[in-house]
Amino acid sequence: MNKPGVAKYLAALSAILFLSSSCATSIKTTVRKDSELARIRSFSAVEVDGLRDSSIISKALVSSLKEKGFAVKKAAVGDEDALDLLGLKMGVDALIYGYVTRADEHTWVTDGKERIRTRETPRGTKETIRYDPPEVIRNKTIYVRLKALDGLNDYVVWDSEGHVSGDSGADAIYMIESLVAKMVQELPSPPAEPAGGDEPTGADAVAVGGHAPDFTTLSVSGQQISLSDYKGAKVVVLNFWGIRCLPCLQEMPKLEHIYQRYKGQGMEMLGVNVDGVDGSIIKKNLRKQIGGVDLNVTYPLLLDENFEIIDAYYLTVAPLTLVIDKDGIIQYMHTDYQPGDEIELEEVVKRVLEQG
């Protein structure tokens, strides 16, 4: 048996189970114009002020559309009327936005059950009667509508409604994000880009041997950090991670070990969160994900609330780990995490440090 292959399969399966939770979803697409959708390569995910939870949905749209291979820009407008001609202004093939249409909570009481257990004893057959009392069940259902408008003439090319149900204690933001991700899967994949020149651009430019795009952002603790702060001074390990990404959370303690070993030898480590949320949400969810205990990492965890760093690095999957030398050149890139990957990463860090 191919043990590495089995390990990779099991890790992937664990990640799927970790992300799926116990929420049930249902999706109905009422308008689907496939001929128009088939030509779309780029979207503007729009936050519409006044529409319920539009901000949460627009952020979920950005990450889900990117994962499906679309180019995505972000925009915000005051109302739906302001969507007119926005596609032309943004230079995209289509606009997409969404909102929560309603949220319901349900409570019901189960019937009590009488269970009879029969077993043979030396004195004959004996019956034991057990009574399970009625149980109060509470859950909630959130309904979401997504609409895509043609970027040239603003007519509707896609209109989809879905709902997700979970227990009353489930995180509403996570429920919405999970539903939006499934709804986006209803869209056809973008067509292939036409052949271009030999000069690397876009995602091809963010590769080993290329320059690491600079950025400036805040850490969870409020410190302003720029990648260029370390140019000429330190080797940087840059890791992209997500709150609900099981491989990410498995990798982070291993990264902390490397950080503790080499931080005094000219290495810095930065962890960019890919969820587009603020520091308080990151702290809250990290505690929740690992059983109420803070994740014990001391290297800076960075915010990317507007997905600007993700855009710059053309991120499509997490975790992604890069090693950047003192000249700002990417020396190593690795996606996903399997136990043992940290060994290769540490070898690369040592080599780049030795090269100066």
pLDDT tens digits for 248-271? Answer: 888 999 999 999 999 999 999 999
pLDDT for the residue numbered 166: 84
- DSSP annotation string for 230-269: GTTT-EEEEEEE-TT-HHHHHHHHHHHHHHHHHGGGTEEE
Domain ranges of the chain: 24-105+138-184, 208-355
CATH code of the domain made up of 24-105+138-184: 3.40.50
Task: Say what the alpha-carbon torsion angle 311, 317, 318, 323 is, to the nearest 10 degrees.
Answer: -70
pLDDT for the residue numbered 9: 40
pLDDT for the residue numbered 121: 66
Chosen CATH of 208-355 out of 2.10.109.10, 3.40.250.10, 3.30.565.10, 3.40.30.10: 3.40.30.10
pLDDT for the residue numbered 6: 42
pLDDT for the residue numbered 23: 59
Identify the three-state secondary structure at position 19: helix
Joined tokens for residue 299? 């290297």
Record the pTM.
Answer: 0.55
Q: How many CB atoms are located within 10 Å of the residue 271 CB?
A: 24
pLDDT tens digits for 301-311? Answer: 999 988 889 88
pLDDT for the residue numbered 127: 65
Collect the ranges in the chain with pLDDT lower than 50. 1-22
Would you say how long the chain is, in residues?
Answer: 356
102: left (phi over 0), alpha (psi -120 to 50) or beta: beta
pLDDT for the residue numbered 278: 84
pLDDT for the residue numbered 232: 93
Cis preceding linkage at 319, omega within 30: yes
